[in-house]
Amino acid sequence: MSKTSSGIALLISLLTSSAAFAQYATDALRYSEINQNGSARFQALGGNHAAIGGDASSIYGNPAGLGFYNRNEFTLSPAVTIAGTKANYLGNEDKQSSSLFNIPQASVVFASQPGFQRKWKRSSFGVSFSRQQSFQNGYLYGGRNNNSAYIDNVLETVNNANPPYTIKELEDGLKNDATGNPIANSIPVAYYQMYLINPTTTSGPPFAAIDDRSVVDQSGDFTSKGATSQWTFAYAGNLDDKFYLGGNIGFSRIKYDYSSRFSDDYINSPSLTYIDQFEDFTVRGNGFNASLGAIYKFNPMFQIGGTLISPTISAIKETYSQSVAAGYVGGKIKDADGNLITPPYSSLPIAANDFEYTLIGPMRGNLGGTVFFQNKGFLTATIDYVGYSGMRATTSFLDADGNRNFKNDTKAEIKDTFRNTVNFRLGGEIRANIFRARIGGAYIADPYLDRTDGIDRSKLLFSAGVGVRNDRFFVDLAGTFTTYKSAYTPYYLKDPRNYASVEITNRPVNVMLTGGVFF
């Protein structure tokens, strides 16, 4: 499928399918969420960035924190992430886990020498690479469905289309690709060509399923990987050891891939043994953002800080691929005359759909305070604001009307789906000579306006860590446990009583080690 024609096909699907229409609102949230980032020290403190300085995390957290530096520093942070999930579908429970080694943080800070005779005491410049969020995930699910199968979704799509599908349209939708192999331009075309849906009139509609009565055992799996990473350049200064001011600019990279399978295994069907659906989704994007931060030290025991972060503007390219496979009882199927024949196709790929758009993420801000207990430790807290309802998406991939409709429809969907949120973080550190012990936690609010599926998607983060620090180097170790729920719906039908969603309990664990040297 050509770039232009695939874009037009995508627009049509957006306007005719509420599930597809909501896709870009969901994508906007996926690429915009940030639960916790930073060095092992800051992660052990619950991800607090607002009112703490002197850490490489300040480069992309509150850049004013660089103003506390009085010497150069290099840090590197390897980590291991263990993604654990529990999926409940139609009363059955399945568990899945996976692990990933990565290096989510590396940085260098250059500090100027202090100017004792000036109010502007010192300044620092920092560069960092950081992983802002991880897309590593995976789950399995399955259960017996007595009410529907995926074929019912295809049938509703075909019979409710306006204008209705015709036999000619479904016949013409099968072409040969560049290598001469057959390829369908849509799921309905593939189902028609594989005799899974059949016409009931000479023109076609209404179409009927080859089997819409048999009970099915449904199963599926989902695997995703990738991350949003960012190179950040920051500068900060220190005014009279009281007021710290800094700014940064970040260049982000989105890399996201997922593969999924959904299977209907037919029980005692006279025609079918199974129908399988396969999906592959690839996303690549580049973006930029900027932030301005400040920290004010009232006295040696108390300081406050805050950061204002611009929306990240990202140019995104995506490719969506599907395929269908089916098994027939005895390898045969009845044609229009009732004769048993070998079906012409037992599997068909769907033409890949390419699309390009610009995503404008949410405006963010935070405010926090830190209380120091001399040289024995401190407590720090942060309130985060995230303006999810202000996310936007635009495209120039379609024609003028299509571009305008995509912008307006996605804006409306985002406003109808998401709300602005306020998150809370709390952390503390205890010091004993060169040793450090830390503990923290965070509450990440549910960004969805409605909970029609009854799932609260708020997240709880619990973290802890230890560290050693002397005049030449430091080493910090942190672990973070996160728990939250999400949902996945394999297909939709008009009557919500006839389909089900997978309720997923996510419990990832991240263990990070940060090592740093002064030079």
Report the distance separating Cα 85 and Cα 92, nearest Å.
14
pLDDT value of position 115? 63
pLDDT band at residue 21 using 50, 70 and 90 as cut-offs: very low
pLDDT band at residue 46 using 50, 70 and 90 as cut-offs: very high
Check whether residue 114 and residue 7 sit in a common domain.
yes
Assigned domain for 370 exists: yes
Answer whether residue 138 shows pLDDT above 90: yes
Report the distance separating Cα 486 and Cα 506, nearest Å.
7
Check whether residue 83 and residue 200 sit in a common domain.
no
Report the distance separating Cα 261 and Cα 45, nearest Å.
39
Assigned domain for 175 exists: yes
Tens digit of pLDDT for each residue in 366-393? 999 999 999 999 999 999 999 999 999 9
Check whether residue 63 and residue 205 sit in a common domain.
no
Assigned domain for 268 exists: no
For β-strands 73-89 and 502-506, DSSP reports them as antiparallel
Assigned domain for 280 exists: no
Check whether residue 54 and residue 131 sit in a common domain.
yes
pLDDT band at residue 42 using 50, 70 and 90 as cut-offs: very high
| Final residue belonging to a domain, choices 303, 329, 356 | 356
Check whether residue 326 and residue 411 sit in a common domain.
no
Check whether residue 391 and residue 420 sit in a common domain.
yes
Compute the Cα dihedral for 189, 191, 192, 193 and give only its sign: positive
CB 313 within 8 A of CB 360: yes
Tens digit of pLDDT for each residue in 337-350? 788 999 999 999 99
- The parent domain of residue 206 ranges over 150-213+317-356
Report the distance separating Cα 81 and Cα 225, nearest Å.
12
Q: Tokens representing 225?
A: 């990987």
Answer whether residue 401 shows pLDDT above 90: yes
Answer whether residue 117 shows pLDDT above 90: no
More confident residue, 518 or 16: 518
Assigned domain for 122 exists: yes
Check whether residue 27 and residue 176 sit in a common domain.
no
Check whether residue 247 and residue 129 sit in a common domain.
yes
Longest Cα separation, the chain? 98
Assigned domain for 510 exists: yes
Report the distance separating Cα 227 and Cα 79, nearest Å.
14
Check whether residue 308 and residue 336 sit in a common domain.
no
Answer whether residue 16 shows pLDDT above 50: no
Answer whether residue 334 shows pLDDT above 90: no
Check whether residue 92 and residue 117 sit in a common domain.
yes
Task: For residue 449, give the CATH number of its domain.
Answer: 2.40.160.60
Is this structure's pTM higher than 0.85? yes
Tens digit of pLDDT for each residue in 491-501? 999 999 999 99
Tens digit of pLDDT for each residue in 51-97? 999 999 999 999 999 999 999 999 999 999 999 999 999 999 999 99
pLDDT value of position 454? 82
pLDDT band at residue 116 using 50, 70 and 90 as cut-offs: low
Tens digit of pLDDT for each residue in 225-260? 999 999 999 999 999 989 999 999 999 999 999 999
pLDDT band at residue 164 using 50, 70 and 90 as cut-offs: confident
Answer whether residue 3 shows pLDDT above 70: no
Backbone angles phi, psi at 11, to 5 degrees: -60, -45
CA trace torsion 293, 299, 302, 308 (10° rounding): -10
Compute the Cα dihedral for 171, 176, 182, 184 and give only its sign: negative
pLDDT value of position 136? 93
Amino acid at 285: G
Question: Which residues are CB-neighbours of 248 under 8 A, at least 6 positions away?
Answer: 59, 60, 63, 232, 233, 234, 235, 290, 291
Tens digit of pLDDT for each residue in 260-301? 999 999 999 999 999 999 999 999 999 999 999 999 999 999
pLDDT value of position 519? 95
Answer whether residue 15 shows pLDDT above 50: no
pLDDT value of position 6? 41
Tens digit of pLDDT for each residue in 410-466? 999 999 999 999 999 999 999 999 999 999 999 999 999 987 778 999 999 999 999
Round the average pLDDT of the chain to a whole number and report it.
93
Assigned domain for 468 exists: yes
Check whether residue 411 and residue 507 sit in a common domain.
yes
pLDDT value of position 113? 77
| Final residue belonging to a domain, choices 329, 356, 383 | 356
Percent of the chain with pLDDT over 90: 89
Assigned domain for 269 exists: no
Tens digit of pLDDT for each residue in 185-200? 999 999 999 999 999 9
The secondary element (H helix, E strand) that includes residue 244 is strand 243-266
Check whether residue 157 and residue 80 sit in a common domain.
no
Q: How many domains does the chain have?
A: 2
pLDDT value of position 467? 98
